[in-house]
Chain A
Amino acid sequence: MKFFSKIKYPLLKLIDVSGFKVFDPVIRLLYNEEPQKQVRDIVKYMVLPIIFCFICIWAWNFLGPRHKTKSGEVPTPIEVWNVANDNYRFSEREEEKKTAFSLDGDKRKEEILFVKSEIVKLEEKASFLQQESMRVTEEVKVETDAKLAPVNARKDALKAEIKQAKAEREAEAIAHAEKLMAGQVTPDSLVALIKKHKEAVDEEKAKSKLIGDELNEIRDNPPKRLKEAQLAANKMEDEVLHYKKRIDYLTKGNKEQKIAGLIEKSDTAIAALAAATTPAEAVKQAKAVVSSSEAAESTAEQKYPPAATIFYQTKRSVATVFVGFLIAAFVAIPIGIMCGLNRVVMACLTPIISIFRPVSPVVWLLIFQIVIGAFFPDPETHPLFMFMNSPSNPLAFLRTDPAMIFSACTVAMCALWPALVNTALGVSAIDKDHLNVAKVLRLGFWSRLFKIIIPSSLPLMFAGLRISLGVGWMVLIAAEALSTSDGLGKFVWDEFQNGSSASFANIILACFVVGIIGFVLDRLMIILQRLVSFDDGSAVA
């Protein structure tokens, strides 16, 4: 109990520093401090915002399906949620295949048995769902036919009517023309008659189009349960396929199995070599020994080829943005300090800053692809990528490639400016009194810089870095989409390009992922910023 009351203020401070001040009343309520006021605050600042969020989600759910686009309806929140689950399942499957690939010994055998038993169960389910789906299809077909029948009848009736009307009109026209020949009517009246007939034809066409539309409407909008049943069946089918794939990876695709096979091959070749009778035969067997043992070695080094799951894309995006952000910080902070210290430097850099700051990230990306691309004529053998992607490197999972470097440089270029300008501002806005103190204390340039100037400009510097990280994250998604560097940007782009039924929902899912990660990054920077700012009492020693 004593501990409980002891952590009250540190806890409140922690949530304040981390920028979650909304939870302040909750904590205070737990400690029974002015409960009425806290409840009021909770209602005002937590419950109402949550209700508002629900209203927004409801509006989305309501309006989404009512907006028809070329790529289908706007997905509802539930569809996006399902797609998120699918993405999660996809990454789970990749993990399962990966373990299957590297399992060996008894564990592998156990796994095979387990997976096989699962397949039996799943196939049962799959066939059930398949039948169900077929049943629904039949049902729906009957229903649709029932709906179509009256419309079709009307259509036939209309057709007959039109045919009859056409014949009548033709007869009338001929009769009129005969009268014209006989000089009983004027040519103008015939033209007028033909015109009238033409109008009648247009009217008929419009009528038949209306009926056609009605038919299409019925055909194109089968009841939802059909789609659902098909989807469920497909999903189960997919799952069965995945388990079969797992068996593959446990048996002939398994790493140890492959190696064992190759070693066996080389052993038989060695035996054959010993038993060889002709020189040609001996050479052939020796070659076989070399090739199979080499293949065994390379297989031993092999890893399961990682797939582009949304988790991988996210990790890579975060890594790229941090690389870019660090480059930006390393360039911007020293230059910013120089600008703040010396007005000549500031004057020299002002035109460069003013001109390059508004340049679009897309332009930078293209420029970097050309300029930096020249450093990696052959990325496969470049030492940087060899180092980053060597199996022993813990960052190998990122699969660094030139496109990633280009994206990171684009991020750096765009994130540079806020940090630079803010650092310069922080340094030049240093308290005059502090500089006077430095003069009186006879501080040299370096101790003035490190003891006075940099510490006092840290809060503004970090404010700039926070903006930089935000800008960098925004720029990155566009840069990845354009440079096809693996990441959330590419995920969105690929989804846009491949246009499957889940694409639209996937794009919206990516939108949320990007937003949430951006939010987390911003929070991190806020915490850092508050740790270095000394005025609000949250500075640490």
Chain B
Amino acid sequence: MSEKINSRFVEMSHLVKEYPNPYGDDFRVIEDFNLMMKEGEFVSVIGHSGCGKSTVLTMLAGLNEISDGGIIVNGREIDGPGPDRSVVFQAPCLMPWMTAYGNVMLGVKNVYPHVNKATRKQIVEHSLSVCGLADSMKKYPREMSGGMQQRVGIARAIALQPKVLLLDEPFGRLDSLTRMELQDVIIDILDKEKLTAMIVTHDVDEAVFMADRCVMMSNGPKAGVGEILEIDFPRPRNRMEVFEDPKFFECREHLLAFLEQRSHIKGPTRIYSGGETQGFMNESELEAFELKTGGLTI
């Protein structure tokens, strides 16, 4: 790639999400969430349920209002949803009255209003076949299995040709075999299209296997980024190789240890790679933290 990679392609800074509470102070779900994503990077977000993982993702998607702080994507602050960021939801959310083709076309028509019909058709058919649905374009959602429906959801998201792909627990409702198939589909797509992506997940294996970096969120309320783990398996990734790699288990253990023991700690974000602490994400914050606690103990 000749172009210089933009290391601040997605920039979330001091993100806050508050919900109004009529009987007291506003309820802060997210406080001071900071994260930077490089162009083409795949970040997984993991954390206990209810910590606000999906809230972060929906804020990035523009579906959820940002209470404070800001998100910059490709040099522009976001304001509502846009075709540069598409979302794969947990439920496939297909329109039951449309075929797979129709569901994908729905978005394509609106995002490319000036493109001629043949090109649109090509885009739709291409994205469906990338997701392995070349033979099922004319099927209605009710005629498809959950996995196939989710494939349509993915096809719909990538057909918009977004810059950022947001996956909100996309495999949460699928059985493990289908889940693995779809993980491979996503990884293939991302490798080919060089998309920047974020996946919110509960599944530790998935978080490690799929992503370049895993963001572990501390517990809510006032959740933030607890730790960040760099995962450096080579791409394209092979499932068998990755799963047999001892590093995979180290990463897995790390995530589990965080979730079980350290997720309640609020403080500066610690960055790990290869099992060692690489540093803190924000130096000024670290200083403040050290001043307050008199040293960092984990």
Contacts and interface: CB of A to CB of B under 8 A. Distances in A.
Do A and B belong to a common assembly?
yes
Interface of A: 431, 433-434, 436-437, 439-444, 447, 451-452, 455-456, 458, 534-535, 537, 539, 541
A-B pairs, top 4 by smallest CB distance, nearest first, are A441-B107, A534-B96, A433-B93, A455-B97
Contacts of A455: 95, 97
Interface residues of B, number: 27
Contacts of A433: 89, 91, 93
Contact of A534 (B82, B85, B111, B142): B142
Given A439-B63, A441-B106, A442-B81, A456 B95 contact: yes
B142 A436 contact: no
Contact of B110 (A431, A447, A456, A534): A447
A443 B93 contact: no
Contacts of A444: 110
B221 interface: no
Contacts of B63: 436, 439-440
B95 A441 contact: no
Question: Majority SS of interface residues in chain A?
Answer: helix
A458 B96 CA distance: 12
Nearest to B96: A534
Contact of B96 (A439, A441, A535): A535
A430 to B, nearest CB: 11
B160 interface: yes
Contacts of A431: 93
Interface of B: 61-63, 80-83, 85-87, 89, 91, 93, 95-97, 99, 106-107, 109-111, 140, 142, 156-157, 160
B168 to A, nearest CB: 10
10 contacts: A434-B95, A437-B89, A437-B156, A440-B87, A441-B107, A442-B81, A442-B83, A442-B110, A455-B95, A455-B97
A369 to B, nearest CB: 43
Contact of B81 (A434, A440, A447, A535): A440
A377 B143 CA distance: 59
Contacts of A436: 63, 87, 89, 93
Given A433-B91, A456-B95, A441 B110 contact: yes
B82 A442 contact: yes
A175 to B, nearest CB: 105
A537 B83 CA distance: 32
A426 to B, nearest CB: 13
Contacts of B157: 440
Contacts of B80: 439
Nearest to A451: B106
Nearest to A536: B142
A432 B111 CA distance: 21
Given A442-B111, A539-B96, A539-B142, 15 more contacts: A434-B95, A436-B63, A440-B63, A440-B157, A441-B106, A441-B110, A442-B110, A447-B109, A451-B106, A452-B95, A456-B96, A458-B97, A534-B96, A539-B97, A539-B140
